[in-house]
Amino acid sequence: MKMVASFSLSLVLAAQLCLANSDTTAPKKLPIPEDKGWSFEKTPVWSDEFNYTGMPDSSKWGYDIGGRGWGNHELQYYTNNGNAYVANGVLTISAKKEEKEGMHYTSARLVSKGKGDFLYGRFEIRAKLPQGKGTWPAIWMLPTDWAYGGWPESGEIDIMEHVGYDPGQVHITAHTKAYYFKINTQKTSIKKVDSIYTAFHTYRLDWTPATLRGYIDDQFVFEMKNEGQGYLVWPFDKRFHMLLNVAVGGDWGGKEGVDENIFPANMLVDYVRVYKMIDKP
């Protein structure tokens, strides 16, 4: 009996020890937030109208620099000089065929990190996209603080992506630990858009505590809802910043090769505007 009692006590102590050492940081199921039909202020809280000449406004934009493939085996070297400039009321991001640090192409990747970081809001960008096989322009958002860990745990929001080998097909996508492209679970919508190379179109994200909603020319295209499953599904309760870039090649953009006769390949941006969400009790 003493042996049984001792064995039972050992089991109890072992169970308590396991509980004490368990991962208390695991995400817990949360209430699904009510969609309160949030609206947005009419005047931008942050914007760049590109009504000047020269380099992009350094109070609003910084640069990612380098040619390490950026996780997608991309072929360009991102610079902070010569590949992004403002004139005639538009920002031009130019991918060029030229040598730089062992890479055969250069481009620019503008980031608002530390200069424009946001939690919720309406994000509106009017742009004209580059044409040609091998181009991969994007208007997107990444977490500023990476509070939940590295990619994809802390999330990614793609307001607009396009790959040149699939003309006119515009993608709006969100990535999280539970939903991302490497396990083929990403939340995405695709819309065929005419004249994206010859005319400006408006790409918009409405981000609230309950949903991500994407629009092209004010037409509703994409929605991802907060399922109340914690950060593995919904890391979109922390600050994000914007990125504007034109990549060359890569696992997706270069899936069917790169047409070397298309360069320079330019994305033109007429404006970037951010509107504050009007909170509701």
pLDDT of 22 strictly over 90: no
pLDDT of 30 strictly over 70: yes
Mean pLDDT of 99-122: 98
Mean pLDDT of 42-64: 98
pLDDT of 185 strictly over 80: yes
CA distances from 5 to 12, 13, 15, 17, 190 (A): 11, 12, 15, 18, 64
pLDDT band at 23 (very low <50, low <70, confident <90, very high): very low
pTM: 0.89
Task: Give the pLDDT confidence score for residue 159 in this predicted structure.
Answer: 98
Nearest CA to 255 out of 169, 173, 138, 133 is that of: 133
Catalytic residue among 101, 156, 223, 260: 156
Instruction: Quickly tell me which residue has 């910084």 as its tokens.
Output: 62
Domain 41-278 indexed as CATH 3.30.360.10: no
Query: Is position 49 annotated as part of the catalytic site?
Result: no
Instruction: Quickly tell me which residue has 């034109």 as its tokens.
Output: 246
- Residue 66 DSSP code: B
Query: Cβ of 109: how many Cβ atoms within 10 Å?
Result: 24
Mean pLDDT of 216-233: 96
Can you tell me the distance from the alpha carbon of 278 to that of 210, in angstroms, rounded to the nearest whole number?
14
The share of the chain scoring above pLDDT 90, in percent, equals: 86
pLDDT of 7 strictly over 80: no
Catalytic residue among 74, 124, 153, 161: 161
The residue extents of the domains of the chain are: 41-278
pLDDT of 39 strictly over 90: yes
Q: Which residues pair with 64 in a beta bridge?
A: 109
- DSSP secondary structure, 74-132, as one string: B-EEE-SSSSEEEETTEEEEEEEEEEETTEEEEE-EEE-TTTSEESSEEEEEEEE---S
pLDDT of 128 strictly over 90: yes
Query: Is position 256 annotated as part of the catalytic site?
Result: no
CA distances from 75 to 11, 134, 263 (A): 58, 10, 14
Task: Give the pLDDT confidence score for residue 13 in this predicted structure.
Answer: 36
